[in-house]
């Protein structure tokens, strides 16, 4: 099992070089950025410059906030700069964010994301192999790429694409066309075993692939003391208020709680939401442990379900470095 960590949502760009070097020094396998308070790719250009071994990627960048060609350039440059250590993680986001936060058009996500990935690969194929660009889909038409605008071939042209999702349709799509699937932290091992993994296998089988060709990457809620436990409870309440995450709640009979959380969120009654996340629900989603036993808890819960794992908990250089290092070493055994 590979062990990853993430750049904190509010981390300043000036702090990324030191964080990246520290993450590499403690032995994590990959460092991830998210599209929250910063452009995720600016952070990763610094990671590429200040590390030599560690892989890095977006978990995730929002596909529908960008043109496939604009994103193709960014990914190509990061792959070249890092010697092939870049992983492109793509998510779809929900309709209000696409339309109201990014000012872009919305359409059903599964078909559009499939086309987006195929368009990306068509552009990269043109740059690497000199083939004429002729991609024609329902959402994207790409037929112009003159030599002046074409980057030179690179040494590592296969840029891994991970897709993120909650429900079975996006997991199935990952099984068909992606190199990996990013599991949202609002999950349970039962949901992975009964919904996510079978969907990936179904998609892979449809196109004659092995399900093992798709790396499953899981970000998990971990609480190492009582204060973190309550913070995780609040974060679960926030995520569970989003209707897109209802399939996981329904599997466990928590659908009514999700509906109540949605109502409170619509009324901006944030303080009342965590009380709806009972201990039973919290313990099914999150791991409460100490540094001494967290690895055993992770391995017991996730063995055979994920290939790489990271804590939904910020890594801060100089704080608990030895605990992070020990965790990375134990998970690699």
- The terminus-to-terminus CA distance of the chain in angstroms comes to 8
Q: In a 3-state reduction of DSSP, which class is residue 303? A: coil
d(CA 159, CA 270) in angstroms, rounded, equals: 40
Q: Are strands 135-136 and 141-142 parallel, antiparallel or unpaired?
A: antiparallel
d(CA 35, CA 102) in angstroms, rounded, equals: 12
**Mean pLDDT across 322-328:** 97
Q: Which residues pair with 27 in a beta bridge?
A: none
75 pLDDT band, cuts 50/70/90, is very high
Q: What rounded mean pLDDT belongs to the chain? A: 97
pTM for the whole thing?
Answer: 0.96
Predicted local confidence at residue 333, as pLDDT: 64
| pLDDT of 190 higher than 70 | yes
d(CA 112, CA 38) in angstroms, rounded, equals: 25
d(CA 257, CA 328) in angstroms, rounded, equals: 35
Between CA 292 and CA 295, with CA 294 as vertex, the angle to 5 degrees is 100
CB 157 within 8 A of CB 168: no
d(CA 233, CA 221) in angstroms, rounded, equals: 10
Q: Which residues pair with 207 in a beta bridge?
A: none
Q: Are strands 180-183 and 308-311 parallel, antiparallel or unpaired?
A: unpaired
Residue in this structure with the two tokens 């209000």, named with its chain if needed: 96
- pLDDT above 90 as % of the chain: 98
Helix (H) or strand (E) holding 219: strand 215-220
**Mean pLDDT across 129-133:** 97
Predicted local confidence at residue 245, as pLDDT: 92
């Amino acid at each position: 099992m590979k062990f990853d960590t993430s750049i904190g949502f509010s981390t300043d760009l000036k702090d990324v070089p030191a964080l990246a070097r520290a993450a590499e020094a403690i032995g994590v396998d990959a460092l991830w950025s998210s599209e929250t308070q910063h452009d995720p790719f600016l952070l990763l250009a610094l990671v590429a410059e200040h590390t030599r071994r560690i892989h890095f990627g977006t978990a995730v960048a929002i596909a529908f906030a960008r043109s496939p060609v604009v994103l193709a350039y960014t990914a190509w440059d990061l792959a070249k700069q890092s010697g092939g250590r870049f992983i492109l993680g793509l998510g779809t986001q929900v309709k209000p964010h696409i339309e109201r936060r990014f000012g872009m058009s919305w359409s059903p996500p599964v078909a559009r994301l499939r086309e987006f990935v195929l368009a990306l690969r068509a552009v990269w194929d043109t740059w690497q192999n000199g083939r004429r660009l002729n991609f024609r889909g329902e959402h994207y038409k790409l037929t112009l790429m003159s030599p002046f605008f074409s980057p030179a071939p690179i040494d590592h042209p296969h840029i891994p694409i991970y897709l993120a999702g909650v429900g079975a349709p996006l997991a199935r799509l990952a099984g068909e066309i992606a190199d990996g699937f990013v599991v949202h932290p609002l999950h349970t091992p039962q949901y992975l075993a009964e919904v996510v993994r079978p969907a990936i296998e179904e998609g892979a089988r449809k196109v004659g692939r092995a399900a093992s060709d798709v790396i499953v990457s899981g970000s998990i809620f971990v609480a190492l003391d009582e204060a973190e436990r309550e913070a995780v409870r609040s974060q679960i309440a926030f995520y569970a208020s989003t209707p897109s995450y209802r399939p996981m709640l329904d599997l466990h009979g928590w659908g009514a709680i999700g509906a109540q959380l949605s109502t409170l969120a619509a009324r901006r009654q944030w303080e009342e939401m965590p009380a709806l996340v009972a201990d039973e629900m919290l313990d099914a989603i999150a791991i409460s442990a100490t540094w001494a036993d967290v690895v055993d808890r992770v391995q017991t819960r996730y063995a055979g379900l994920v290939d790489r794992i990271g804590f939904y908990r910020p890594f801060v250089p100089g704080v608990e470095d030895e605990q992070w290092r020990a965790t990375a070493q134990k998970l690699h055994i």
